[in-house]
Structure 1
């Protein structure tokens, strides 16, 4: 079972007041899986009023009762926004692109400049991604469109629109001359960014309208001897790449991007709601809270959360799963930590310098730190 935790909002102030001598004694609580655990602070010590011990450093709380340990990661920083932030993307340089629930985009550049595009989409921005150049951003909206933006000046040279239902997946191929989108209409389109045209369509043969709920592009490092003739003006950097498409029915379809041909299907369990893949790992999330991990397309473990899995990302050697809270699992299925914030996160992205979460009026950042908290 994947753990959930809630910690008293002002617990850090409670501990600090006791350490400073502002109060002789003060208490706070933590709930783990709905059960409350109380702790009393006096001076520099935190005493457990039960079986659970409490430990903390700057960015991690550890609760342990001898047989079980729960790690709660705390945000390093919080950036305020005027938006109800629905999604976030970042570059290695620290630039940020934010999407909002009312269709706006915000670009926050490391030179200190900001740009808000008020009507980027007609409705909720579902996803934002930087192209490898870091100068171009793709946004995916509830208005069935993907838009390409200049991060430098906010211009919108291309709009990709052909789907007839809500978009659920966006992937940038290589340098970004092609992108792939999936939607609940069952279609997966390969787009040529230079023209804004859909140049290929994938669908399941047996159930062509099976809703797409996620997609991932894998590079297997090989080039097929039976590849279709390369059309340099349409398809770019497709060699050695496989496209994995998760469908609501539970089927994950696999396509060879070089030949644009179906190579197989995997049944991962019904009602898939999220999916990601990296190297030989494929991880699916489901409406009943189940997370399943496949290695080389063979099931190796599953875990159960309390509610629907909203997003999965495999990065930094971890599997990040968004339920009501964001949790990090190891590739072996062990829960590493809960990335805790008071507001319910709408979305997240994992970057080299940390994990960024999108929520109402704010973006939180969690480090990838590995320091071991000290029991108090």
Structure 2
């Protein structure tokens, strides 16, 4: 076990056979009197526990399914129509199991889907977009899991690496491994919903010299940001399709940028300096910052008012395995969350970055692929001694995404997001109580917490 893993709090993993709902439905439909499905529990560094749960109809109420765990695991249905798993052997209390409410495409339409490489949901929740290795982008309505895409575009020559909806929900910023960014219309078609419209990029932005890895939209979208493996973050002007400024990452050493996240800055003396050189094309950048997750395991903070770096964390001790490839900044919470290729999640109070993370945790050594803040549960503790910091939805390469509750110096599992069958989950988004994931099986899953 790596030395850093020994000192890092470990969160347990509870998972269930990916198609257990099919087993339960067969019991409800009376096809079989009872049936079983697998339940597994893990804790890094300890023996795993694999058991079975039995699902059977109640003898008196034929609409009620009873569950019984075996071989060291407990499984039950909860009052909110979800499920819970526990494992006394590993000291794992009841953990909520969140089942996807909607799957795109629907289970009956799932064949061999292409791996999703980029994904985003429109702010108004009306549609989502997916990108693929062949450079294509598809836009789909969220109202139906069976309808074809509303729009299609071949906006890149190779892998689409990032997709972001503009605040209007009617325009998309896409980025690719071909070093370019594209602006696509995402207006729903006026014709039949069964027609897929071909969308042509309205603008193409070029300037990076290696693959673009991440993007961010500033305010209403007059300016956007892009991070790249060429070690730069670039600020763009959309109306003129031109580059405003290049920021050299890694203390100007051009360390590859794997993730960026931007938002309003907090009040801090170090961020109150005035800018001497403000480009006329900049709109609403003076109160913004951008965090960059770097390949060497550090993150860097740039003030977009001055375009200068104001903080850089220590680099990862284990080199490439510590690369920060997931990053989320929440201005409302004054928090930054980072996810590493070594499976570590860290949360920082941005007002005290120099003091290090307020909490760090892991589940195993599977790389963190994506991370996003979610609203805390309605029943969150209001104990002033340990105020809740919120929640994080975390996508992982091992195909076991989850939602964590975070407090200062501790974290716990709020819900397991089940449904994938050993496929890596690369992307996660959140809006209110809804969490979306996109996986290597080509499927988008929508959960309600």
- Aligned pairs (5 A) from 1:193-208: 193-204=238-249, 206=251, 208=253
- Aligned pairs (5 A) from 1:112-131: 114-131=149-166
| SS of equivalent residue, structure 2 residue 339 | strand
Deviation at 1:305, TM superposition (A): 2.9
Deviation at 1:131, TM superposition (A): 0.6
1:281 aligns with 2:335: yes
Would the aligned equivalents of 2:261 and 2:290 in 1 still touch at CA under 8 Å?
yes
Matched with 1:47 is 68
1:357 aligns with 2:381: no
Matched with 1:366 is 447
Judged with a 3 Å threshold, the aligned counterparts in structure 2 of structure 1 residues 194 and 292 are, in CA distance, closer, same or farther, namely same
Distance 1:48 1:175 in 2: 51
- Aligned pairs (5 A) from 1:1-376: 1-19=10-28, 21-33=30-42, 34-44=48-58, 45-57=66-78, 60-66=82-88, 67-69=91-93, 70-80=95-105, 83-91=114-122, 92-109=124-141, 114-152=149-187, 154-204=199-249, 206=251, 208-220=253-265, 226-228=273-275, 231=278, 233-267=280-314, 269-270=316-317, 271=322, 272-279=324-331, 280-295=334-349, 296-297=352-353, 298-306=356-364, 307-316=366-375, 317-323=390-396, 324=398, 325-332=400-407, 333-343=411-421, 344=423, 345-352=425-432, 354-359=434-439, 360-368=441-449
Deviation at 1:6, TM superposition (A): 4.0
Would the aligned equivalents of 1:75 and 1:339 in 2 still touch at CA under 8 Å?
yes
Judged with a 3 Å threshold, the aligned counterparts in structure 2 of structure 1 residues 159 and 20 are, in CA distance, closer, same or farther, namely closer
Distance 1:184 1:282 in 2: 21
Q: Which runs of 5+ in 2 are unaligned?
A: 1-9, 43-47, 59-65, 190-198, 376-389
| SS of equivalent residue, structure 1 residue 15 | helix
Matched with 1:373 is none
The total of aligned residue pairs comes to 368
The structure with the largest helix share of the pair is: 2
Deviation at 1:48, TM superposition (A): 2.1
Which stretch has the larger CA shift, 107-116 or 304-313?
107-116
Would the aligned equivalents of 1:31 and 1:37 in 2 still touch at CA under 8 Å?
yes
Would the aligned equivalents of 2:372 and 2:394 in 1 still touch at CA under 8 Å?
yes
Distance 1:110 1:334 in 2: 31
Distance 2:339 2:275 in 1: 34
Deviation at 1:199, TM superposition (A): 0.9
Deviation at 1:21, TM superposition (A): 4.6
Distance 1:9 1:51 in 2: 19
Judged with a 3 Å threshold, the aligned counterparts in structure 2 of structure 1 residues 61 and 205 are, in CA distance, closer, same or farther, namely closer
| SS of equivalent residue, structure 2 residue 292 | strand
Post-superposition CA distance 1:246-279 (Å, at most 9, x none): 2122222212111222222222634222222213
Would the aligned equivalents of 1:222 and 1:239 in 2 still touch at CA under 8 Å?
no
Would the aligned equivalents of 2:23 and 2:36 in 1 still touch at CA under 8 Å?
yes
Judged with a 3 Å threshold, the aligned counterparts in structure 2 of structure 1 residues 159 and 64 are, in CA distance, closer, same or farther, namely same
Distance 1:217 1:120 in 2: 24
Deviation at 1:341, TM superposition (A): 1.8
Distance 2:259 2:84 in 1: 33
Deviation at 1:179, TM superposition (A): 0.6
Deviation at 1:175, TM superposition (A): 0.7
| SS of equivalent residue, structure 2 residue 139 | strand
- RMSD of aligned residue pairs (Cα, Å): 2.6
Deviation at 1:351, TM superposition (A): 2.2
Post-superposition CA distance 1:71-95 (Å, at most 9, x none): 2211001121865433322222412
Distance 2:18 2:326 in 1: 30
Would the aligned equivalents of 2:328 and 2:337 in 1 still touch at CA under 8 Å?
yes
Distance 2:328 2:285 in 1: 19
TM-score using structure 2 length:
0.75
The structure with the largest strand share of the pair is: 1
